[in-house]
Amino acid sequence: MSTPYNFKKVEPKWQKHWAEQNCFAAHDDKPNKYYVLEMLPYPSGRLHMGHVRNYVMGDVVARSKKAQGFNVLHPFGWDAFGLPAENAAIQNKTHPAKWTRENIQTMKGQIQSLGLSYDWSRELATCEPEYYQHEQKMFLDFLAKDLAYRKESWVNWDPIEQTVLANEQVVDGKGWRSGVPVERKLLSQWFLKTTAFAEDLLQSLETLKDWPAKVTTMQHNWIGKSVGAYIDFKLNDSADSIRVFTTRPDTLFGASFLAISPDHPLATKLAKDNKILQKFIEEFKALGTSEKSLQTTEKKGFLTHLKVASPFEPDQLLPVFVANYVLMDYGTGAVYGCPAHDERDYEFAHKYKLPIRPVLSALPHGEPLDVSKEAYGGEGFLCNSGFLNGLSIEAAKIKAIDALQKQSLGESTIIYRLKDWGVSRQRYWGCPIPIIYCDHCGVVPVPADQLPVTLPEDVTFDKPGNPLEHHPTWKHTTCPKCKGKARRETDTFDTFFESSWYFLRYCSHPTDKAFDRSITESWMPVDQYIGGVEHAVMHLLYSRFFMRALSACGYLKLDEPFKALMTQGMVCHETYRTADGQWVYPGDVVFKEGKAYSTKGEALKIGPSEKMSKSKCNVVDPSDMLEAYGVDTVRLFILSDSPPDRDFDWSEAGLQGCWRYVNKLWKLLDEVTEKYCGSSGGQPSAKAQAVEKRLHQTILAVKQDYEQFHFNKAIARVRELSNAIEDLSLDHKDDLAVAYESLKVLLQLIAPMMPHLAEEAWQSLYKESGFIFDAPWPKADPKLAAEDKIILAVQVNGKMRGTLEVDKGLTEKDLLELALNMPTVQGAVADKSIRKTIVIPNRVVNIVV
Ligand code: ANZ
Ligand code: ZN
C-alpha cells in the first residue's frame, strides 16, 4: 500500500530535527569555508513572495555547498531601524521598538516555515544597542581618521513634518506625506568621506568578475569620473576671478558667457542688494535638490552686471549669469557656456540671444561645422581658436591646459560625480550619532568609554519633527571635556549605515567589539551575495566604502565585501480589474474558459503580469500557498520557472504542476523502495542502462547548474531523469535495482531545492541513518556519462549534405567510407574525382571534388 506524501507532517518534522541537531551551525574553527548571504530584510511584518524567492535561492546555494562538503556560513538578521516603524507609531500609537520586535517575531516564524538552512545563533537586529553601539565606535574612528566630518549642506525640508526628506520623498516638489511644497534648507549635517576612495572604488570594479555587469556599470556611472580642468575667469572690475570646471578646455575660444549656480556664494552676495535676484534664487530653491528636477525644468538665467575676461582673449568680455541649470555641488558650481558645442548652453544662448561660435570643423583647417539648428557635440578639429587651430580635440585639450597652467589661469583636474555620504537624519528610530555640542568646547565626540548612546524609550510622536529633539531630558548632558552643560546630537544615522557592515558581525559577534578580526577575516569576503538590483548603488557602494574605511582604521584588512553577486528578478503576477477599474486579488478570481470573473460573476479585465504590489492587488500571500501546497512545492515552483535574474511569473497553474510532480515523485519513491529487495547481479535492460547513463550525465550537469544559478535547468534535468526511471519495469529485478539506486542519487541532487521531501525519503524510505546533506555528494562516472555516439556534419565542397551518427573512435578511413555511402553525398560527388578530404574530429567530414 503506498502512502501519500503528507507535507503537513513531514515538513515540520524535519524542520524540528534540523533545529534540534543544530545542523546548520557554521564552524569558525574548521576549514573549507563558504559564506552565502541574502540581503537582510526590513521587518515590515509580512513576508512577501519577493522575500521567498530571495531566501529560497540563497538556501539552495547554502544547502548545495553544504552537501558538497563545505563549511557553510548562512546567517540571517533584520534591518530594523527606519521610517515605517515611526509611521506605525504615529498611526497605531505603538512604540517603534515594540512594533519592530513584534514584526521580527512574526516574520521569523514565517521564514522558519520555509525550511531555510540558517545558523540562527548568529541572528542580529540592527536596532538593538548590542549591535548599534559598535557603529558608534566606528563613527568615532572615522572622525579620528578624517573619514567623517560635519558641513552645511542643502536639504529638502518639509516644513510640516519638520524633517529632511530624501529626493525620493519629494513628489512634484511636495512632501510625500504632508503634501506641502518642500523648501531647500541649509543644514549642518554629518558626512562620511566616500570620495576619499572614489578612484579605488572605481578601479576595483574591474576585480568584481562575478558581479552582474549591469551593477558594476551603474556603480561606474554613479562614481562618474570626469577628467578636465579648472579655469579661472578674471572679473573685469576687481582682482577676483570665478573658477569653473570643464571637461572641454579645447572649446574655450567658443565661450560666450559664464554661469554660476544660484547657490554659489557670489550669487548670495549679489542678491544681498538685489530683490529680483533674491526672488530668482528663491524660486530655484523651491525646485528641490534632485538632479532630475534640475535637468528637466526650463533653463533660466539672471543677468548680473559682472563681466569676466576670456582667458585666451582677454579683450573678450563675457557676461555672467546666475543660471538654474548649474549645480553647486558639482565641480565648482560655475561653468563657462559654449553654446555651439553644448546642448544646455545652446538652449540658454538662444533664450538670452548670446553668440553661438562654432570652434570645430570636420577636417583639420576646414570650415566650421554648422550649428544653426543645434549644438554639435561630436568629434572634430579645432578652428576659430587661435593657437589651437587644426588640432584634434584631445590634442587641443592638452595644449589649452598647458597654456592655462603657464599663465596661472587654471590647471588640469579630475572630479567625481560621487558625493560624500550625508548620514544625518532627523529621526528617532535610528542609531544616535555619538556627538555632544558644548558652548565652550564646540563639537565633542562622545568618549568611547561612554558608549553606547542609547535611544530613550519614553518618547512621544504627537508633535511633528524629531522626538529626540522634543524629549524633555535626553539631549541635555554634560560636556566630556569641561563638564559644563552641553547638548547631544539629536540626529540619527541613515539606516544604510547599519547595512554597510552587518555581514562582518555575522562572522563573529563578541560583546566588546564589532567583530573578532581573525575570525571575520577567515570568513570574509562573502562568497555569494544575493539581493535586489535596486541596491546596485547605495547599499552595495556604501558597503564597499565601509570595508576601505574600516581597513584604514585598523579593524581588518579587506577591500571588497562581496566576491560574487547575484541580483534576482522580481516576482510578478497578472492583474485583474472590474469594469469600473477596481483591482481584484487573484484569490478572488474565478476562471471559466480562459476568461476571468469575480466571485460575484462580474467579468474582469486581465492585465499584463507586473511586479506584485498591494496597490494593484496582484499579490499572492506566501502563507496561503504554504498552507495549501507545502514548502517544497512552493520552493520547486519558484525555482523552476525562470532563471533567477529574470522576472518570475507566479501562476496557480504552474504551482499545481509542481504539486503534481511532488506527489508523483513521492509515489515513485515509495513504490520502488517498497518493491526493492536487493540486486540479483544480473544484466539490466538496455532501457535501464540508458537510465544509468542519464543519471551520470545529470550528476555532472546539476553540479554545474547549481554553480551557475541555473536552478530551472537543474529541475528540468531531474524531472527528465525521474520520468525515465518511472518508465522502467519494476518487475524486472535488475531494472528495479537501477531504479532504486538512481532515485537515491536523484534525492541527493534535488535535496537543496526540496529538502523536506528528500530528507523524508532518505531516512524513512531508504532507511539511511544520517541527514541527506551529510552524505557524500554523488560522483559521476565520466566514462558512464560520456555519449558513445557522435554526430558529424557531412559536406561536399563545404556544402552541407547531411549528418552521420556514428560510434566514437572511428578512423578517418571508416568515416570517409560511411560518408561516401550516403546517397546525398553520392549525388553530389557523381562522377567527379575526389581531390581532398578534410576530417575535423567529432565535427565535420568535408569532401572536396
Ligand atoms: C565647457 C563646455 C563646453 C562643457 C562644451 C561641455 C561642452 P561631465 O562630463 O558630467 O563632468 N558643468 C561643469 N560643472 C557643472 C555644474 N556644476 N553644473 C552643471 N554643469 C556643469 O560634464 C562636465 C561639463 O558639464 C563641463 O564641461 C561643464 O560644461 C558642465 F562644448 O564646460 B563644460
Ligand atoms: Zn565643554
What would the pLDDT profile of 649-702 be if each residue is shown by its tens digit?
888 889 999 999 999 999 999 999 999 988 777 889 999 999 999 999 999 999
* pTM attached to this predicted model: 0.87
Distance 167 CA to ligand 1 centre (A): 23
Split at pLDDT 50, 70, 90, the class of 508 is very high
The predicted-structure confidence for 264-281, as pLDDT tens digits, reads as follows 999 999 999 999 999 999
The residue with greater pLDDT, 679 or 489, is: 489
Distance 442 CA to ligand 2 centre (A): 7
Which residue is closest in CA terms to ligand 1's atom 9? 226
Interacting residues of 433 by C-beta distance below 8 A, sequence separation 6+ = 136, 139, 190, 423, 424, 489, 491, 492, 493
For residue 79 and ligand 1, the question of a CB distance below 6 A is answered with no
pLDDT of residue 163: 79
Q: Which ligand is nearest to the CA of 477?
A: 2
257 pairs with which residues across the strands? Answer: 337
Q: Which of 480-484, 540-544, 604-608, 718-722 has the lowest mean pLDDT?
A: 604-608
Which residue is closest in CA terms to ligand 1's atom 33? 246
Distance CA 544, CA 533 (A): 16
Residue 753, Cβ neighbours under 10 Å: how many?
25
Residue 90, Cβ neighbours under 10 Å: how many?
13
Distance 228 CA to ligand 2 centre (A): 45
Distance 246 CA to ligand 1 centre (A): 5
Distance CA 691, CA 679 (A): 16
Single-letter amino acid, residue 170: V
Distance 454 CA to ligand 2 centre (A): 21
Distance CA 2, CA 663 (A): 11
The residue with greater pLDDT, 789 or 526, is: 526
Average pLDDT, the chain: 93
For residue 341 and ligand 1, the question of a CB distance below 6 A is answered with yes
Distance CA 70, CA 66 (A): 5
Q: Are 685 and 725 spatial neighbours (Cβ–Cβ below 8 Å)?
A: no
Which residue is closest in CA terms to ligand 1's atom 7? 342
For residue 246 and ligand 1, the question of a CB distance below 6 A is answered with yes
For residue 346 and ligand 1, the question of a CB distance below 6 A is answered with no
Query: DSSP code of 181?
Result: B
Q: Which ligand is nearest to the CA of 360?
A: 1
Whether residue 525 is preceded by a cis peptide bond, meaning omega within 30 degrees of 0, is yes
Q: Rounded to a whole number, what is the distance in angstroms from the first to the last CA of the chain? A: 68
Whether residue 452 is preceded by a cis peptide bond, meaning omega within 30 degrees of 0, is yes
Distance CA 773, CA 754 (A): 12
Distance 452 CA to ligand 2 centre (A): 20
pLDDT of residue 561: 98
Which residue is closest in CA terms to ligand 1's atom 25? 246
For residue 221 and ligand 1, the question of a CB distance below 6 A is answered with no
Q: Which ligand is nearest to the CA of 413?
A: 1
Q: Which ligand is nearest to the CA of 333?
A: 1
Distance 337 CA to ligand 1 centre (A): 8
Interacting residues of 240 by C-beta distance below 8 A, sequence separation 6+ = 234
For residue 333 and ligand 1, the question of a CB distance below 6 A is answered with yes
Q: Which of 83-92, 448-457, 805-814, 830-839 has the lowest mean pLDDT?
A: 805-814
For residue 730 and ligand 1, the question of a CB distance below 6 A is answered with no
Distance CA 118, CA 105 (A): 16
Which residue is closest in CA terms to ligand 1's atom 14? 331
Distance 245 CA to ligand 1 centre (A): 7
Distance CA 695, CA 55 (A): 29
Residue 718's SS3 state is: helix
Q: Which ligand is nearest to the CA of 231?
A: 1
Q: Is 611 exposed, middle or buried (0-12, 13-18, 19+ CB in 10 A)?
A: middle
Distance CA 425, CA 429 (A): 10
How far apart, in Å, are the Cα atoms of 767 and each of 9, 30, 758?
18, 30, 12
How far apart, in Å, are the Cα atoms of 422 and each of 92, 156, 166, 285, 446?
30, 13, 11, 19, 20
Distance 721 CA to ligand 2 centre (A): 75
Sheet with 148-158, strands from edge to edge, namely 163-165, 148-158, 183-192, 421-422
Question: How many percent of the chain have pLDDT more than 90?
Answer: 72
pLDDT of residue 190: 96
Q: Which of 410-424, 695-709, 785-799 has the lowest mean pLDDT?
A: 785-799
Which three three-digit cell numbers place residue 842? 567529432
pLDDT surpassing 90 at residue 817: no
Interacting residues of 14 by C-beta distance below 8 A, sequence separation 6+ = 115, 755, 756, 759, 760
For 173-187, give one letter per residue: b (16+ CB within 10 A) or e: ebbebbeeebebbeb
For residue 256 and ligand 1, the question of a CB distance below 6 A is answered with no
Interacting residues of 9 by C-beta distance below 8 A, sequence separation 6+ = none
Q: Calculate the CA dihedral of residues 226, 231, 233, 234 and round it to 10 degrees.
A: 150
Q: Which of 101-110, 484-493, 790-799 has the lowest mean pLDDT?
A: 790-799
For residue 58 and ligand 1, the question of a CB distance below 6 A is answered with no
Q: Which ligand is nearest to the CA of 400?
A: 1
Place of cell 474558459: 593
**Rounded to 5°, angle at Cα 622 from 621 and 627:** 105
Query: DSSP code of 583?
Result: B
Q: Which of 193-197, 505-509, 823-827 has the lowest mean pLDDT?
A: 823-827
Distance 299 CA to ligand 1 centre (A): 15
For residue 251 and ligand 1, the question of a CB distance below 6 A is answered with yes
Q: Which ligand is nearest to the CA of 485?
A: 2
For residue 616 and ligand 1, the question of a CB distance below 6 A is answered with no
Distance 189 CA to ligand 1 centre (A): 27
How far apart, in Å, are the Cα atoms of 385 and each of 320, 342, 595?
22, 17, 70
Strand 33-38 to 526-532 pairing: parallel
CA 762 vs. chain centroid, Å, equals: 37
Interacting residues of 668 by C-beta distance below 8 A, sequence separation 6+ = 722, 725, 726, 743
Residue from 245, 357, 397 to probe ligand 1 pocket by mutation (most atoms less than 8 Å from CB) = 245
Which residue is closest in CA terms to ligand 1's atom 26? 246
pLDDT of residue 293: 61
Residue from 222, 242, 246 to probe ligand 1 pocket by mutation (most atoms less than 8 Å from CB) = 246
Task: Report the greatest alpha carbon distance in the chain.
Answer: 111
Distance 263 CA to ligand 1 centre (A): 17
Distance 581 CA to ligand 2 centre (A): 63
Distance CA 345, CA 67 (A): 62
pLDDT of residue 4: 76
Which three three-digit cell numbers place residue 532? 535586489
Interacting residues of 832 by C-beta distance below 8 A, sequence separation 6+ = 849
pLDDT surpassing 60 at residue 289: no
Which residue is closest in CA terms to ligand 1's atom 8? 226
**Rounded to 5°, angle at Cα 453 from 448 and 458:** 165
- Point out the ligand 1 atom lying closest to the alpha carbon of residue 340: 31
pLDDT surpassing 60 at residue 605: yes
pLDDT of residue 168: 64
Which residue is closest in CA terms to ligand 1's atom 18? 326
Radius of gyration of the chain (CA): 34
For residue 336 and ligand 1, the question of a CB distance below 6 A is answered with yes
Helix axes 213-223, 538-552, angle to 10 degrees: 70
Given phi > 0 = left and psi -120 to 50 = alpha, else beta, which region is 179?
Answer: left
Distance 545 CA to ligand 1 centre (A): 27
Distance CA 38, CA 529 (A): 6
Distance 153 CA to ligand 2 centre (A): 25
Mean pLDDT of the region 319-330:
93
Residue 687, Cβ neighbours under 10 Å: how many?
14
Helical (H) or strand (E) element with 692: helix 686-707
Q: Is 472 exposed, middle or buried (0-12, 13-18, 19+ CB in 10 A)?
A: exposed
Place of cell 576530417: 839
Distance 803 CA to ligand 1 centre (A): 61
Distance CA 661, CA 664 (A): 5
Distance CA 247, CA 227 (A): 6
- Point out the ligand 1 atom lying closest to the alpha carbon of residue 338: 3
Q: Are 279 and 261 spatial neighbours (Cβ–Cβ below 8 Å)?
A: no
Given phi > 0 = left and psi -120 to 50 = alpha, else beta, which region is 539?
Answer: alpha
CA 147 vs. chain centroid, Å, equals: 25
Question: How many percent of the chain have pLDDT more than 70?
Answer: 98
pLDDT of residue 811: 82
Q: Which ligand is nearest to the CA of 487?
A: 2
Distance CA 192, CA 419 (A): 9
Distance 384 CA to ligand 1 centre (A): 21
Return the sign of the alpha-carbon dihedral for residues 122, 128, 130, 132.
positive
pLDDT of residue 290: 58
Which residue is closest in CA terms to ligand 1's atom 32? 246
- Point out the ligand 1 atom lying closest to the alpha carbon of residue 341: 31
For residue 331 and ligand 1, the question of a CB distance below 6 A is answered with yes
Residue 234's SS3 state is: strand
Distance 142 CA to ligand 2 centre (A): 22
Which residue is closest in CA terms to ligand 1's atom 31? 341
Residue 253, Cβ neighbours under 10 Å: how many?
23
Return the sign of the alpha-carbon dihedral for residues 196, 201, 202, 203.
positive
Residue 133's SS3 state is: helix
Residue 427, Cβ neighbours under 10 Å: how many?
24
Helical (H) or strand (E) element with 131: helix 129-144
Which residue is closest in CA terms to ligand 1's atom 11? 226
Mean pLDDT of the region 73-95:
91
Place of cell 521610517: 83
Q: Which ligand is nearest to the CA of 253?
A: 1
Distance CA 742, CA 472 (A): 71
Query: DSSP code of 684?
Result: P
Distance CA 43, CA 498 (A): 14
